[in-house]
Amino acid sequence: MILLTGDRHSGKTGFILKLAEQTRRHGRGVAGIACPGLWKNKMRNGFELLELDTGRRHLLSMRVPGLRPIPYMFDALSMEKGKRALSVRRCAAADLIIVDEVGPLELGGGGWAPCLQSLLQLTAPVQVWVVRWPLAQQVQIHFNIKAEFADISQENCMSGLLEKILQKT
């Protein structure tokens, strides 16, 4: 288990998309989800859901002014598609499982939280959960995991993660 950390807007999602691409180039399977931001007028306006095993994309959420504490309205159908993409059935055969991202929703029992306990039962694949640095310790405690930390700002982060994935398989 690896928690990939970085600050807000530091490029964590772009980083894991490159990691997924490099993993595939080595003939390895990738499953899970990535949630790239959607931008309008230099402001994050929502998120897209990318199923990493199929490449299918869905509108996940849109910003709703005044909505608190999380300013996004989530599409229920896309959430279900994301949960299916994180199912043990779809992830078990992969060499790399990515969950982008584990944050306040999951710490409160929402978002992708219902899938995470099941994924923790898998021992073979490398799992990379994307987490904002300030929440990394909370995620580790909440999900009762012993994780390695990988910070995207570190020079050899990509090559180190790729090496771990290739060694495991």
| Full DSSP string of 54-85 | T--EEEEEEE-TT--SS-EEEPHHHHHHHHHH
In a 13 Å sphere around the CA of 158, the CA atoms on its Cβ side amount to 14
Q: Which domains does the chain have, with CATH numbers?
A: 2-168 (3.40.50.300)
99 closest CA partner among 90, 108, 61 = 90
CA–CA dist 75, 49 (Å, integer): 10
The per-residue pLDDT string of the chain (169 residues; one tens digit each, 9 = 90 and over) reads 999 999 888 999 999 999 999 999 999 999 999 999 999 998 899 999 999 999 999 999 999 999 988 899 999 999 999 999 999 999 999 999 999 999 999 999 999 999 999 999 998 789 999 999 999 999 999 999 999 999 999 999 999 999 999 997 6
Nearest to 131 by CA among 94, 106, 158, 97: 106
